[in-house]
Amino acid sequence: MKPICKKEYLELKPPGIGDTVADKDRILQALKPKYGNVYISISTLKSYYKLLRNFDWKLTVTMVWNGYYWEIIIIERGNTTDKNFAYAADLGSTTVVIQLVDLNSGNVLCEESIKNT
């Protein structure tokens, strides 16, 4: 399974004397070896900027693949990589099926279907 949404746990080196790397760059540098160039919007960064230091530099980023590069959409405290879920929908001509999928294992956790009328 190649999900378009991934979570990555990071333990970053906190800033110190003589270390003036910006928080954003600290995150992007940690992801670069595995994911290449990763994007984070200013609005996403602003939402989490003050929280990063409260996370003790241990955080999980949720990224989505947009067809060209990975983009960080959520930053969470600690390691939440075991909680990565998505809905999958099959809109058929006779039936609509919705599944809750664990993106780490690929397992379908539950499924519902209804007739497409």
How many degrees, rounded to 5, is the angle at CA 66 between CA 64 and CA 70? Answer: 50
Contacts of 2 (CB under 8 A, 6+ apart): none
- Given a contact cutoff of 8 angstroms between Cβ atoms, the answer to whether 82 and 72 are in contact is no
- Given a contact cutoff of 8 angstroms between Cβ atoms, the answer to whether 10 and 31 are in contact is yes
pLDDT in tens, 29-42: 999 999 999 999 98
Comma-separated ranges of CATH 3.10.20.880 domains in the chain: 5-77
What pLDDT is recorded for position 22? Answer: 87
Residue 39 structure tokens: 């994007």
What pLDDT is recorded for position 116? Answer: 87
Residue 71 structure tokens: 């983009």
Rounded distance, CA 70 to CA 49, Å? 20
CATH of 5-77, one of 3.50.50.60, 3.10.20.880, 3.90.1300.10, 2.60.300.12: 3.10.20.880
What pLDDT is recorded for position 53? Answer: 77
Q: Please, what are the averages of pLDDT over each run of 10 residues along the chain (117 residues)?
A: 88 88 92 96 83 85 95 94 92 93 92 91
What pLDDT is recorded for position 96? Answer: 94
